[in-house]
Amino acid sequence: MAEQIGAIIEQGPEDWQIVQQDERGEGRIGLEGRWRFETPGQVEVRLVWEDTGVAVAASLDWQAVPTAADGTWKGALEHIPAGGLYRLETRLRTADNPAGEWSPRGDMRHFLGVGDLWVIAGQSNSAGYGRGPYED
């Protein structure tokens, strides 16, 4: 089997993860990983709405994260508004593709959210027998 190319997330959120919001109602997602491609490049990340693919905010559209020549990268998305559902996308922008449109895509994380985390126990409603799913 061929090795994955592009930006690979090794530490960060998993699908369906909720990130705790701060006192301003914003979240932060730290990320790190490695990149693999035939030519060096710059890893970029963005956060989009899961259902439309539109950037959550201009500040959360494609942004470069520190990328090392040894094949590693590390960065964070800051000031993520409470709500969701969001999708985290990565890509590797190479020198021969400065516009980024045909960049090798990397890992994605789906159905992310930002909000308060609660532990609910002892009620039949905590088993999920309520209404259908709701999007903020």
pLDDT over 90, % of the chain: 61
pLDDT at 49: 97
Question: Looking at the whole model, is its pTM more than 0.75?
Answer: yes
Domains in the chain, number? 1
Question: What CATH number corresponds to the domain at position 75?
Answer: 2.60.40.10
User: Would the pLDDT of 15 be above 70?
Assistant: yes
pLDDT in tens, 30-48: 999 999 888 888 999 999 9
Please check whether residue 39 lies inside any domain of the structure.
Answer: yes
* Between 132 and 97, the higher pLDDT residue: 97
Q: Is the pLDDT of residue 133 over 70?
A: no
Is 74 or 104 the better-scoring residue by pLDDT?
74
Residue 62 has pLDDT above 80, yes or no: yes
List phi, psi (to 5°) of 19. Answer: -95, 135
pLDDT at residue 92 is higher than 70: yes
Asked whether residue 45 is assigned to any structural domain, the reply reads yes
Query: At 134, is the pLDDT very low, low, confident or very high (cuts 50, 70, 90)?
Result: low
Inside any domain, residue 42: yes
What residues make up the domain containing 112?
Answer: 6-120
User: Would residue 127 count as lying in a domain?
Assistant: no
Residue 87 lies in a domain: yes
DSSP letters for the chain? -PPP-EEEEEES--TT-EEEP-TTSEEEEEEEEEEE-SS-EEEEEEEEETTT--BSSGGGSSEE--B-TTSEEEEEEEEEESEEEEEEEEEEEETT-TT-TTPPEEEEEEEEEEE------S-GGGGT-SS-----
